[in-house]
Structure 1
C-alpha cells in the first residue's frame, strides 16, 4: 500500500504534460542530438551554447549538472556503464522545468554596484508598517518583515508621539490605524534587513516629533543598529556612497521636520499622505484585479487639468530650519537629507547644488504635473540627487500607480504600498527581479548622460529592439486547483495575455485564442513587440479562463524584466494575485531578440 501511494505522488509531481512536445522542441532535439533518438551531455552542452545560456559558465560542467538533476527529478534509469542519455520526452521535461530552464539569467548580481546611490533604482516601500488599508488597518512590524524578505530596500516609518508624549509610536497620523512601537519596528528591521540582499537598507522617517523625542529616536537607532548604522562624517557630502560601499549597512533618510507644536496646531500633513480624506472615495483606479495599470500619458493629462503649481508647503523646509529644529545627535545620524531650496516653483525644487546632495519627495500627482514642462530638469536632478515618488493620499485601499512615469525620469525611489495588490504592484515586483533580485537596479546609461543633451522622456525614441514571444502551452492547473475551480461541469477554457509594460510607445497587450475544455492548453501563437526603451521594458504574462456568462477567471501571472530574458525556449512559472509562485503552474515559451 505504501508503494502504491508513492507511485501516485510520483505521477502527480513529475507528469508534466499529456500534450506531445511542440514541433519546435522536436526540431531542437534533432539538431543537437545529431538526428539520433537520444541526447547525451555533449548534445545538451551544444544546446546550452546555442542559446547563450549563462555564457560565463563551464558548458560541459553545466550539461553534466543538468543531466544529473534531470535524472533525479525523473527517476531516469542509468546503466552502470556509460553516460546517461535523454530521449525527446526527457528533453521536453527539461525545457518545461522552471528550476532547470528559467526565463531569466542566473540570479546573481551583475550590474556595476560601485556608483553613487543616485545611479540606481531602489526597491521602495510606502507606509511599510500598515497591514491593509490606509485608514483603519493595524500597524505592525509583520509587513515590514515581509517586505524585507521580498527584497525591498527602503522602509518607511511614520513617527508620532505616544499619548503620554514620552515615547514614539509608528502609525498613519490622524487615522484609525492602531500603532506599533518604533523600537519593535527597528528591531525587526535589524533582524531581517539582509535575509534577501546584502545591499543597504534605507529607513525613510516621516517625522512628527518634538526635539526631545528626536533625541530619543537617535538613542534607539544607535542602540539597535550599533556599528551597522552608517552615517556620514561630513555634514554635507557632495556625493552619496555606492551600494557596494554600504553593503550590510542601514542608513536613515528624513526630511527636515517642522516643530511638533507648530505642526499640531496647524494640522499639517507630512508628505501629503499622513491623512486621507474618506470623503474623496475609497475605491482607486486599479484597486480591482481586472483594472489595467493606467497609462502614464493619461495620468499626465489628468494632472494638467489640475493646478499646475506644486503644493509643497507641507514638504521639506530649508536648511536653516533643519539647524533650528533637529536634535543635534539625531541630525548627525541622517545620511540622506531631504530638503527644498527657497522659492516655491518647480524649477526651484529641482535645482541641484554642486556642493551637496539631497532627496526630494513628490506625490504621484505632483510628478505628473512637473513632467509636463520640466521633464529634462527632473532627469538632470536625479543624476546626482534622489527623487522619491509616493502614492496620492486618496489611495485608501493601498492601491498603486503606474511606476514608469517615475522610472523614465530617473526617480530612484518609486514608493509603493507593498501591502496592496493589483497589476501595478506586479510590475514593481517584476522590475526588481533584475540584477539578482538584490533590490538595486542600475539606471540605464542614457538617464545619466548630460552630453550632448539630457534625455528628454517626451521625445519619441526610435525602435531599438524587437522581442518575439511564442506561447507554446501551459500546464500545472490540474495539480494546483480543484477540478471544479474554473468550471463546475467541464475543463477550463484558458487563454494567455502577453504584452509589454514600459514607456507609452512600448506598452501593449495581446492575447491568444481560448483553448476549450483542456487543462493542458496548447496555443502555439507568436507575438512581436517593437521596443524603443528596452532597458526599462517589462514582459507581462497573464492567463485567464474564459467565461461566457460571467467575468473571466484569473489563472496566473508573472512580470519579467526584458533586459534579463534568456533567449530560447524557457519554462515560465506563474504566480497568484499576491505574487506568490504556484507550485506547478507554468507556461512553455520562446524568446527571440532582433536588433534594428
Structure 2
C-alpha cells in the first residue's frame, strides 16, 4: 500500500479553541477574531498617510465628513463615527484596531422561513479522520473540532465491532460515555470451560450453558422477526465501530461518537445538525446503532415526521425554523420505491401508529446512500463496490427527512420523493452536470443532493466546492482536517453564519428560473486591491529565522466559468480548487512586510455573481 509523506496542510484537530480555526465559518467567535490589539510600524506609517489624504477629501475632523466617508467609501454604518471621535490620527488608528475596519462585512442573519432544501450547508466528509484517508487516526476530537467551527453535517462510517477483549481497558473507555458496568463473573466458574464455551458465555451466543438470565441472542438467517442484540454491559457484546473501511485507519466506538455529537451539536449553532450514516454493519449491530442514537440523542433526534399523517414518500420538507436544535439522520432507505401518492389517497397515521413499513423487494439491493458507485483504483481502473448489508427497517425509518437512494437518474420514481437524498462523487456529479444540466439544476431547487470527494484523494485533498454550489448542491462535503483552497472557499461561504446559508433567489424552490445560467444576474468585474503591509506572520514549523521567511500575497478569484453556464465539460472535470484568475504581490523578507501600497488588479472579469463568487 502506498505511503503518504507528511503533509503540512494536514493536521490533527485543534481542541484548544477550535472555533478560532478558519474553514467552517463559525459565528461563535467571529467578531473577536477580527480585532487586533496593536499595529506594526509599517501600518502606523500608512495610517498617518491615509489619514492625511482623507482629511483633505472628507474633512474627518467634522461629524459630517466622518459619516460621509463611512457610508460612501467604507459602506458601513454611520454609528462607527463614535470610534473616530474628533477625527484625530490617534482615533483613526483606534478605528483600524476595531472590527469595524475589517474588509469583510458581517454576515446577514439567515432567513429561516424556507424549506430546508433551499440552503447551502457547511458539511464535512469522513469527519472522524484526523489526517489522510489511508492510515490516520479516528478521533472523537475531530467531531468536537468541526462542530465548534460551525459544521452542520457530519459523516459517520459504521462497521461491525470486534468482540471485546478480556482486559478492562475497553470497559473503562466505554464507561466514559455512559456504558453500564460489567457484571462480575466467577473466574472459577469459567476456568474449566473450553474457549468456544467461554466465548459463548461472554458474548451471549445461542447455545451457551449456565446463563439463563442473558438477553436474546442474534437471530438466525431467515427468521421472521429480529430481536435487538442487547446486553447489560458493553463488555458482553460487540458494539459498532467508526473507521474508514479497508484501510489502515484506526477505529473508535460508535457510542463515543454519539456522546460527542450530543455534547457539542449545538454549542456553536442552534440550527439543525445532519448526521450522515454510512452503514456497513450487520442487522444485529444496526439494532445497537438505533439503541445508542435513541439513548444519546433523546430529546434532540427527529424520529417522526412533523406531520405524522403522511407516509415517508409524501411528507414535505419542513422549514429551517421548525428544526432548530434538532438532529436529523441521513441514512439509506431500505425499501422499494413507489411514486409519491396523491394527497387525497394517502393513508393517515398517528404518532402512536406510524406509517406502515414498506415491503422489501429485490430492488432494495440497488438502493444505497453515498459511496456505492464503482471505486477507482490508483491505476484508474474501476472496480465493483463491495456489497453493503441491507439497512434494517428500524434504522432506515430514522432518516425521516434524509433518505438515501442510489442515483439512477433524475427522472426515476425516487427522484420525486420530497425527502430523498442523492449522494454523488465529484466525478459522477460532473458527468450529470454535463449530460443534463437543466435537470440537475431543477432537481436541486427542490430536493437534496450531496457531493463528496472522490476516493483517490488519499491525502484528504478537497474538491472545488463553488462549482457544486453553483449547480445548486446543498451539501458539499469537505475534509476539514486539511487546510486548502476548498476549505478556504467554505470559510468564504459560511464566515460569520450559523452553518446554513440561504440560496440566491433564483436557486430556491419558489423560483421559476430553469437553468443555472439565468438563475442569477451575471456581471463584469473590475477589481483593485491595494496592499499596505502585513504584521506578525507566523513562521512555518521548519523555519526559525524571520529573515528566511519570504511572504507575499496571492489573490485568486473563484468565478463561474463559461463552461458551467453553457453546459460544457469543465476543464479537469472541475477537480482543481484553484481560482480561475490569479495575481500575486512582490515577495518580502520579514514577518512584518511592507507591501508599499502595491495594487493587484483584475480587469474585465466575466460571469461574476455576488453570492457565488469568491476572492481568496
3-state SS of the aligned residue for 2:54?
Answer: helix
Are 1:399 and 2:461 matched, yes or no?
A: yes
Are 1:327 and 2:426 matched, yes or no?
A: no
Q: How much has 1:326 moved relative to structure 2?
A: 2.0
Aligned to 2:557: 500
Gaps spanning 5+ residues in structure 1: where? Answer: 1-10, 68-83, 259-265, 282-304, 541-558, 560-596
Aligned to 1:244: 321
Q: How much has 1:419 moved relative to structure 2?
A: 1.2
Aligned to 2:33: none
Q: How much has 1:40 moved relative to structure 2?
A: 6.2
Check 1:350–1:486 CA distance in 2 against 1; reply closer, same or farther (3 A cut).
farther
Are 1:214 and 2:286 matched, yes or no?
A: yes
Are 1:158 and 2:235 matched, yes or no?
A: no
Q: Which of residues 420, 433, 447 is equivalent to 1:385?
A: 447
Aligned to 1:359: 421
Aligned to 1:532: 607
Aligned to 1:199: 271
Q: Is the 8 A contact 1:131 1:140 kept in 2?
A: yes
Check 1:350–1:124 CA distance in 2 against 1; reply closer, same or farther (3 A cut).
farther
Deviation per CA, 1:462-482: give whole Å up to 9, x if none: 74252523223122137x449
Check 1:151–1:205 CA distance in 2 against 1; reply closer, same or farther (3 A cut).
same
3-state SS of the aligned residue for 1:382?
Answer: helix
Aligned to 2:92: 91
Q: For the pair shown, which has the larger CA radius of gyration, 1 or 2? A: 2
Deviation per CA, 1:124-182: give whole Å up to 9, x if none: 11110011111111111111111111111000001111023731111111222111111
Q: Is the 8 A contact 1:272 1:314 kept in 2?
A: no
Check 1:49–1:187 CA distance in 2 against 1; reply closer, same or farther (3 A cut).
same
Check 1:350–1:445 CA distance in 2 against 1; reply closer, same or farther (3 A cut).
farther
Aligned to 1:442: 502
The structure carrying a bigger strand percent of its residues is 1
Q: Is the 8 A contact 2:128 2:243 kept in 1?
A: yes
In angstroms, what is the RMSD of aligned CA positions? Answer: 4.0
Q: Is the 8 A contact 1:461 1:532 kept in 2?
A: no
Q: How much has 1:522 moved relative to structure 2?
A: 1.4
Q: Which of residues 53, 56, 72 is equivalent to 1:50?
A: 72
Q: How much has 1:394 moved relative to structure 2?
A: 1.0
Q: Is the 8 A contact 2:404 2:420 kept in 1?
A: yes
Q: Which of residues 249, 253, 259 is equivalent to 2:330?
A: 253
Aligned to 2:357: none
Are 1:473 and 2:495 matched, yes or no?
A: no
Higher RCO, 1 vs 2 (CA within 8 Å, ≥6 residues apart): 2
3-state SS of the aligned residue for 2:155?
Answer: strand
Are 1:120 and 2:194 matched, yes or no?
A: no
Q: How much has 1:402 moved relative to structure 2?
A: 1.3
Q: How much has 1:485 moved relative to structure 2?
A: 5.0
- Superposition map of 1:4-15 within 5 A: 13-15=38-40
TM norm structure 2: 0.65
Deviation per CA, 1:194-231: give whole Å up to 9, x if none: 22221111000001123332222222112111112123
Distance (Å, rounded) in 1 between the aligned partners of 2:395 and 2:274:
18
Distance (Å, rounded) in 2 between the aligned partners of 1:12 and 1:216:
52
Q: How much has 1:184 moved relative to structure 2?
A: 0.9
Q: Which of residues 50, 54, 57 is equivalent to 1:28?
A: 54
Gaps spanning 5+ residues in structure 2: where? Answer: 1-35, 164-236, 336-364, 563-578
Q: Is the 8 A contact 1:123 1:439 kept in 2?
A: yes
Aligned to 1:519: 593
Q: How much has 1:492 moved relative to structure 2?
A: 6.0
Deviation per CA, 1:18-42: give whole Å up to 9, x if none: 53348655332333336xxxx3666
Distance (Å, rounded) in 2 between the aligned partners of 1:327 and 1:119:
29
Q: Is the 8 A contact 2:370 2:422 kept in 1?
A: no
Report the number of matched residues.
Answer: 457
Q: Which of residues 331, 338, 344 is equivalent to 2:404?
A: 338
3-state SS of the aligned residue for 2:436?
Answer: helix
Deviation per CA, 1:388-439: give whole Å up to 9, x if none: 0111111111111111231111111111111123222222222211xx3211
Q: How much has 1:520 moved relative to structure 2?
A: 2.0
Distance (Å, rounded) in 2 between the aligned partners of 1:511 and 1:43:
34
Check 1:269–1:405 CA distance in 2 against 1; reply closer, same or farther (3 A cut).
same
Q: Is the 8 A contact 2:112 2:320 kept in 1?
A: yes
3-state SS of the aligned residue for 2:323?
Answer: coil
Structure 1, 382-391 or 332-341: larger mean CA deviation: 332-341
Check 1:306–1:467 CA distance in 2 against 1; reply closer, same or farther (3 A cut).
farther
TM norm structure 1: 0.67
Distance (Å, rounded) in 1 between the aligned partners of 2:93 and 2:318:
47
Q: Which of residues 484, 489, 493 is equivalent to 1:427?
A: 489
Aligned to 2:132: 133
